Each structure stands twice: as structure tokens, then as C-alpha cells.
A = this chain, B = another copy of it.
């Protein structure tokens, strides 16, 4: 792939660093170990092409992501990551509680209970770093 694509990889990792400072190395290693272009293709699409875009600020985007992953219920590990990322981008714990309650409305009580567990784990991880 071209230089233009390499910059997509860099752009993606730069956005990822805003979500969690130590994530880029960990996530890129995880993907690079799977396939040389996986980081560029998957994170390039997710973070360089979409999440880095103007039009919605990063904090609100993370709120949207937490709501979507909470409602879908199929990616608990990524939900916990994005709960931490949400807090890094300025989402408060109070706002996270509200999102969890709203997940209950649109995806049911069990989805909200699972999101609550993920939120508590993210809160504990944040407390442990203080």
C-alpha cells in the first residue's frame, strides 16, 4: 500500500492515543501479530476515517460508542475499554450511569446490568491509577 495508507495507520494510532494513552502500542501489536495490514485496515477505518472526523466531538462520540456496545452486548471487553476511553475524553461517571440506564430502555435490563458491571470495572481501573 501507498504512503497515503501509512499515514492512515499513523492517524488511527494518534486517535487511539487520545482514547487511552498506552493503547496504541498494545492494540497495534495485537493486530500486527495477526496480519501486517490489520491495524491499517481496521483501525484506519474506525479511527482515521470515522472517529477522527469533525462534526461530533470525541467525548460525544465515546458516549455513542458506549451506548452502542452496551446495547449490542456482544463485546464486553471492548465495552470496558471504551468506558475507560470515555472517561479519558471527559465523560463523567454520572454521565456513564445515565447511559447505562438508557441502555436499559432500548436494549433491556440484562444489557444494562452487563453494562453496569463493565462500568464498575472501568471505575475501579481508574481508581487504581490514582
Partner-B contacts on A (CB < 8 A): 2-5, 30-31, 33-35, 38, 41-42, 44-46, 49-51, 53, 55-56, 60-61, 63-65, 67-75, 77-78, 94-95, 97-114, 116, 119-120
Residue from A65, A104, A116 with most neighbouring chain B CB atoms (10 Å): A104
Q: Known interface pairs A110-B74, A111-B75. Does A104 touch B4 (Cβ–Cβ under 8 Å)?
A: no
Q: Contact between A105 and B94 (Cβ–Cβ < 8 Å)?
A: no
A108 vs B119: C-alpha distance when bound (angstroms) = 20
Number of copies: 6
C-alpha gap A46/B104 in the complex (Å) = 9
**Residue of B whose beta carbon sits closest to that of A73:** B74
CA distance A113 to B3 in the complex (A): 25
Q: Which residues of B contact A35 (CB under 8 A)?
A: 97, 101
- Contact between B45 and A111, CB atoms less than 8 A apart: no
